[in-house]
Amino acid sequence: MSKSNNVYKDAYNRCLRLLDETRSLPSEPELGALLGVSRTTVRSILARMEETGLIAWNKRAKTVLRDPGPGDFFPEEETDTLAEIIERSFMRRLLADGAEAGMQINELELAREIGVGTTSVREFLIRFSRFGLIEKRRNSHWVLKGFTRAFALELTEIREMFELRSAAAFAALPPDSSVWADLDRLEDEHRQLAREIATRFNEFSELDERFHRLIHRASRNRFIVDFYDVIAMIFHYHYQWNKAQERERNEVAVGEHLAYIEALKSRDLGKVDAACRKHLKSARQTLLTSIPESRSPQKPEPR
């Protein structure tokens, strides 16, 4: 997926949500400033909306003809940021290659595989290197370092503090916030996955990531949202390296997510707190079970 296509789809979905708030869209320059995209992208958005019967576009007049439905939106996984796209591709590669400590990662190969520039990949890897999970080598190479139970325990403690705060902030959002529609879509995806868990259980990881990322964004705290990158790597990918009882674990987690979603929709802070704590406790146990007691930090390789 190209960066420009990703930006367009994200802006298009955000513009669709504007249709719920107005019967006439603003001028192209104003719409571009509001969505943070170029005038060319704005025109592409308006053209698609006209084609699908959402608006009547006559030069400066852009009259809303109907409210958007679920089928008008691009799927959420197609509207992630470039950093999120790189992250997902990176995680898939780790899983496919076994993700053993000492595994070599090449910037050029990764960028070519994803279809993005090497600068974007390098920036992504540098962000992760702050947590000591990967380390830079010569000639655009990196090495995966692995981590200990002590590291995992520290991470779970921070995650629980962040998510409890974010979940409370989510429940306090006004009823007209767009996040509730996002939550509805995720709930539908969870129910569909629950019905087909026997054959699709390995698809849970990405759904898990998108669900928790939505909750963290409600915090409106840039440090929490940024730190979620490393949380995603550990919780939503690392514990998959242990394939024992993967289907059973994911089936339980889907059920916990649905209870969590129900609590969020109730806007009852007591229920939200209880559902959040129960799910995070399970996630902590799943993670720790995947890490052998004897695992010790990897010795640094010679440079």
Pinpoint the residues of the chain covered by CATH 1.20.120.530.
147-288
Enumerate the β-bridge partners of residue 141: 106
**Global pTM?**
0.59
Distance CA 295, CA 286 (A): 16
What is the model's pLDDT at position 227?
A: 76
CATH of region 80-142: 1.10.10.10
Pinpoint the residues of the chain covered by CATH 1.10.10.10.
1-75, 80-142
Q: What is the mean pLDDT of residues 206-233?
A: 81
User: CATH classification of 1-75 is 1.10.10.10, yes or no?
Assistant: yes
The model's pLDDT over 49-101, given as tens digits with 9 standing for 90+, comes to 999 999 999 878 899 999 898 889 988 767 766 677 777 777 777 666 555 67
Q: What percent of the chain has pLDDT over 70?
A: 83
Name, in order, each residue with C-beta under 8 angstroms of 64's C-beta and a sequence gap of 6 or more: 19, 22, 23, 24, 25, 54, 55
The class (CATH top level) of 147-288 is mainly alpha
Helix, strand, coil percentages (3-state) for the chain, rounded to 5, are 65, 5, 30
The model's pLDDT over 247-286, given as tens digits with 9 standing for 90+, comes to 898 999 999 999 999 999 999 999 999 999 999 999 888 8
